[in-house]
Structure 1
């Protein structure tokens, strides 16, 4: 069969199932009410009944067509069961149309058999539905709930059978009728018990609750048959069957809503959902009490079954509530534990740590620890590996801190220690923590060395002061241990002031660019410039880049400031090309921070600036740090996108970051800028020159340009040339200059030191 034909023939869910089923139920009510006043054909009340059941069958079949696995099989079985009920309804319609009667409407053996088979199939479908496991207390509660419902059903069944014998006598057909009605009632009880006993179910609880009233359809139809005896054209079964169809359609509708909603909330039972089952024993007790009270008021006495059943029910409810209270106490203990502990590592939580700090009476030291570059490590190892690393580090902290310490995970990759004693007593523990940073941790089959930043405070207001110290520690690229002192407060205040002024300064045009020449060795001819941002406040005070650039990165303003720098540099480079010719100046370099590289729009921003100012991409060099791209991910992808534009990439401060040689293979680098610390070691011992010489050799073999930074003496320049360096920059040649001074150099009207 063609796949398309198969799909066309498959049952489908229709959103109009439930509204039409409701219409059938309302039509039946209207016919019953009207039938007590005016006579009409006896088959008329069966039209809504058969239509309602047909809609339920179609709704169940359509729902099975949109589900899979266990869910598909459940709704398919329920559809088959409802199909038997539909067949029984049609059979009963035939009985009413063909069998003459005066009084109780006919109900043939074929019809009864179809009702019983449909009911048994429904019970089997519910029993085969998986329910998931529970704790022993929850299982005990479920068993007691089952006993409560069973006793209530037993008391109600005994009263029903007594009523039925009184009404129908001892005829065999009457007993078959009662058997069918009790079976249908049992189906409803099974639904209720299944809802209470299942901790997990692929079927939404709302759908199961809509199925449960179907169980009272059988007994109710028998009662209505006697009530409607004065009107031969009305029928108790016809009165209830449209509602069977309605509840079935609503159950299927509840399944469709759960399927269309986010996630699958029906698959896992929330504790609050199960607590709704606590109302079941109370409802059962109330119903039994009402039934027993009614019987006593009507007859003046109670049967042995009714008295014993009521007493047993009360005992079961008391036992059930006792177990439920114990379970609630356990749940409260669990919730309290979860509130004060971290789920992943088992350490104390931030809430506990904060409360412990606030309740201190004796001297303590607070140590806050941040795992450096954890995001990059997590990206490389994956979420499971990142979790394993956090757990391993938590174990290390617990082992090193000792039994008297409070060890907490404060969130993400931040941990906290609360050590008894002042800084003299806790110094050995801090030293052990610092020394352990060089030891690898095992995570997801990898050996990982984790660098940390630590903030320490051992005076009043421990937590806040330790956070200030940690912020200072993490502000440095190499990570460090910082102990709180009053100067950190002043620095924090200063940074807050700078942060408040940054945006205003950008809007007011207080930033400007300087350019430091990059020269060719040994003659000192200028081959390019590096652009450097400067800030002169309106009051004339100059703010150092070392003060405002880190603050701009922390606040995110570096994105907006960086966009202004790129646009300004591109505009200036294009102006030099127009005035002095396309070959007058090689390349203009611009520094791009790690935060900018993480911005998805960074490459597009650079491309737009190049296009806007008609600057060839090869005339722009983007300088990045090794740390910015060490972890790969988004930052490295941005660098690769810039390289694909034709922009040159230079590694700034080369040799001082992470895995420098590895980056030369993974990052699309065109040039390396050797850090000033290596230049300062020239003209010293051979060991001091070894790294500078090795870097020049590696760059030459990899066909990379090299620029020596921080050249301050002629001896350094001479030795760099001897080691193979052909480009350099530093105060020996020129300090950072305004664009006009670069213009003069390009015109040949100004020289530079050689």
Structure 2
């Protein structure tokens, strides 16, 4: 690239020096002045060719540089014919040969086609049309100036120029105008913007030649040929060099938006010139008409463009306003139900309390998580939308309904409106199936009313305490807040925090209740039960802290600890007293644990780390935990495949106990305590005795037919044990057979049993 640039620059310098010498000394014929242009364009074509070989451009860029190379060769050939004609007509200056004019004109058309093919990165019809409007304005402005100062004087001169010369210059001027308007809108792409600007500048060389010819007449032709025209080759060589450098540089610049307005000013220049020279409506010279017409067209197009810009600005402003309104709505409303969110509800509540009393109804769906787990989140979302519609209808006009979080909703009733009527309407509406799934659901609600000036947080705490009280009383219930009602709720909340601390501090202990062979009283297994030794409250009942652990999700890490500790202790007993010391160690598993994605991995890790044989581990599950959908079923089958046994606890109390034995991979069924209580008091022959014993007998026979083991729970005396043994039960559990005890006490029992066996 440097060689080509230096060569074309040298040719331009030589042409300039020759012309200066010719003017000063007239050293030789004018034909020499026609040699510089074909030489310059020939080298420019070689520069374009070298560029394509050195840096293979993208297809669009390659097409542009190929067409530009062809243009250079056509120019070189056309001006070579002009130089030959100059030799023949020496010492007079030659006229443009028709063949040369055809070659040069074809070269200009090829260059125009190449420039037109450069992509601008505009895809939409709207943007493309707007850009074409801008480019038309700019093109007409440029053409008007070039026509007025270059082409028109040649056409209307006293001695008219040849048609071939005028045609070539006209095409060159059109190329200059088109290139300038094109390059103004190139911000990047396969052809570098600076390189395109250099190529576009070549058209100005033709305009300069035309201007020199008009101003200098016969004496203006030679400087145009020797000085101005060779610069076109230099510009093309510089453009090729710039394109090569752009291949390793980031694109720069942006499209110009001021060009159409500059074109309006450009049109005013020839109009002013016409007025100054008093040529307006001159006889036989339609120059004034053309200038005025061009000015009218350009200004009219600019007016159209301004209208388009106005329309676009109006559209952008409308879209901005709609976007802002949408963002405000999204920031204050729930996207699923369209109800107000917590932030908007809080502001509405504060505004209502600032002007008068207000009532808040907090409501949530009972067992909503069961719907999500069993039917999927789509069904759960549909249920939430349907319940939101119920609340809207029940609240009536003037009320504010909001979704606070999950399945928790709130209704704000301004004034002293009683919330009981709203709760009754919600109860009546939820008595019918809701949503596309036609689900029959229940809800719990808490009501609270506060006077004017009451802090919103206090009213919300009261409604929340009432909701907690309603749930404590049972599902499908609603309660109005009364003084002191928040104390159990706050204690329950503090209990959750204490649970987290207790887990970290290691305050939980395991006790083990023996599972005994009813025939000889031998301990065959243990059930692991968790206890909490609170540093201040002492021993906390599982009935108190297990529901809190379930609600807060801490049951998952707590259950993981129980599982690992049970496996560790059972493996230690087997290692100390032999494999016959116990057949099973059974921790309880909650439904929240079964939904934990790591549960199966936790079981495998607990068995592997402790060394406990997998078939000695028994996981006890309730029927309600098992009936939780495909996810739970998959996890249970995965655990069963490890060799771990599964026990169905509280068997006989659910609605699907018999069907569960076929779908659930159970190894053990545990007869619920309700069928054992009082079994020894029933007199033979009475209906109650026959029914109680029939259930117990049916369970053991069904389990035997399916190859399952049975355990009778809740045995409180020897009479119950004897009756169950006669019914076919061989294993039992209860306070009569053994209370839950620490691991150390069981260790002493196992040690004593081994000493007795050794003595025997």
Q: TM-score by structure 2 length?
A: 0.68
1:593 correspondence with 2:594: no
When Rg is computed on C-alpha atoms for both structures, the one with the higher figure is 2
Q: CA deviation at 1:319?
A: 4.7
Aligned counterpart for 1:391 among listed residues 350, 367, 385: 385
1:643 correspondence with 2:640: yes
User: What is the match of residue 143 of structure 2?
Assistant: 161
Aligned counterpart for 1:89 among listed residues 52, 57, 68: 68
Cα distance change on mapping 1:601 and 1:87 into 2, 3 Å: same
SS at match of 1:328: helix
User: What is the match of residue 619 of structure 1?
Assistant: 616
Cα distance change on mapping 1:158 and 1:426 into 2, 3 Å: same
Is the 8 Å Cα contact of residues 205 and 232 (structure 2) preserved in structure 1?
A: no
Q: CA deviation at 1:690?
A: 8.1
Give, in whole Å, the separation in 1 of the partners of 2:694 and 2:400: 47
Stretches of structure 1 that go unaligned for 5 or more consecutive residues are: 1-23, 60-78, 132-141, 193-205, 255-278
Give, in whole Å, the separation in 2 of the partners of 1:364 and 1:217: 77
Show CA shifts across 1:79-116 (max 9, x none). 4x555423312212323554436899997455455455
User: What is the match of residue 509 of structure 2?
Assistant: 512
Show CA shifts across 1:217-269 (max 9, x none). 87555236657927547344555567789999999x99xxxxxxxxxxxxxxx
1:334 correspondence with 2:331: no
User: What is the match of residue 234 of structure 1?
Assistant: 233
Aligned counterpart for 1:533 among listed residues 513, 518, 530: 530
Is the 8 Å Cα contact of residues 225 and 237 (structure 1) preserved in structure 2?
A: no
User: What is the match of residue 429 of structure 1?
Assistant: 422
Aligned counterpart for 2:603 among listed residues 606, 616, 634: 606
Is the 8 Å Cα contact of residues 194 and 239 (structure 2) preserved in structure 1?
A: no
SS at match of 2:135: helix
Q: CA deviation at 1:340?
A: 3.5
Q: How does 1:38-187 map to 2 (within 5 A)?
A: 45-46=44-45, 49-50=48-49, 58-59=57-58, 79=59, 82-100=61-79, 108-115=104-111, 149-165=131-147, 166-167=149-150, 171-177=166-172
SS at match of 2:740: coil
Q: CA deviation at 1:541?
A: 1.8
Give, in whole Å, the separation in 2 of the partners of 1:412 and 1:245: 61
Is the 8 Å Cα contact of residues 9 and 234 (structure 2) preserved in structure 1?
A: no
SS at match of 2:79: coil
Cα distance change on mapping 1:673 and 1:209 into 2, 3 Å: farther
User: What is the match of residue 162 of structure 2?
Assistant: none
Stretches of structure 2 that go unaligned for 5 or more consecutive residues are: 16-38, 84-95, 156-165, 209-226, 274-291, 451-455
Q: CA deviation at 1:369?
A: 1.6
- Once structures 1 and 2 are overlaid, which stretch shifts more, 84-93 or 684-693? 684-693
Cα distance change on mapping 1:416 and 1:731 into 2, 3 Å: same
1:368 correspondence with 2:360: no
User: What is the match of residue 338 of structure 2?
Assistant: 346
Give, in whole Å, the separation in 1 of the partners of 2:10 and 2:347: 71
Is the 8 Å Cα contact of residues 138 and 259 (structure 2) preserved in structure 1?
A: no
Show CA shifts across 1:296-316 (max 9, x none). 579746833344444554455
Q: CA deviation at 1:452?
A: 4.9
Give, in whole Å, the separation in 2 of the partners of 1:34 and 1:400: 92
SS at match of 2:228: coil
Aligned counterpart for 1:409 among listed residues 403, 407, 410: 403
Aligned counterpart for 2:348 among listed residues 337, 344, 356: 356
Give, in whole Å, the separation in 2 of the partners of 1:31 and 1:696: 108
Is the 8 Å Cα contact of residues 147 and 316 (structure 1) preserved in structure 2?
A: no
Cα distance change on mapping 1:701 and 1:88 into 2, 3 Å: same
1:739 correspondence with 2:743: yes
Q: CA deviation at 1:352?
A: 2.9
Q: CA deviation at 1:597?
A: 3.2
Give, in whole Å, the separation in 2 of the partners of 1:82 and 1:368: 67
Is the 8 Å Cα contact of residues 222 and 237 (structure 1) preserved in structure 2?
A: no
Show CA shifts across 1:504-533 (max 9, x none). 544554332211122344775533221111
Q: CA deviation at 1:359?
A: 2.3
Q: CA deviation at 1:159?
A: 1.7
Give, in whole Å, the separation in 2 of the partners of 1:382 and 1:654: 27
Give, in whole Å, the separation in 2 of the partners of 1:480 and 1:28: 93
Give, in whole Å, the separation in 2 of the partners of 1:636 and 1:476: 32
Show CA shifts across 1:302-335 (max 9, x none). 8333444445544554454345434433333333
Give, in whole Å, the separation in 2 of the partners of 1:307 and 1:537: 89
Cα distance change on mapping 1:386 and 1:523 into 2, 3 Å: same
SS at match of 1:359: helix
Q: CA deviation at 1:615?
A: 1.8
1:631 correspondence with 2:628: yes
Give, in whole Å, the separation in 2 of the partners of 1:589 and 1:287: 85
Give, in whole Å, the separation in 2 of the partners of 1:651 and 1:716: 21
Is the 8 Å Cα contact of residues 195 and 239 (structure 2) preserved in structure 1?
A: no
Cα distance change on mapping 1:167 and 1:532 into 2, 3 Å: same
Give, in whole Å, the separation in 2 of the partners of 1:401 and 1:658: 37
Cα distance change on mapping 1:244 and 1:366 into 2, 3 Å: farther
Q: CA deviation at 1:573?
A: 1.6
User: What is the match of residue 222 of structure 1?
Assistant: 203
Cα distance change on mapping 1:436 and 1:603 into 2, 3 Å: same
Give, in whole Å, the separation in 2 of the partners of 1:348 and 1:450: 23
RMSD of aligned Cα (Å): 5.1
Is the 8 Å Cα contact of residues 53 and 245 (structure 1) preserved in structure 2?
A: no
- Once structures 1 and 2 are overlaid, which stretch shifts more, 537-546 or 30-39? 30-39
Is the 8 Å Cα contact of residues 84 and 117 (structure 1) preserved in structure 2?
A: no
SS at match of 1:365: strand
Q: TM-score by structure 1 length?
A: 0.69
SS at match of 1:360: helix
Cα distance change on mapping 1:32 and 1:630 into 2, 3 Å: farther
SS at match of 1:546: helix
Is the 8 Å Cα contact of residues 4 and 43 (structure 2) preserved in structure 1?
A: no
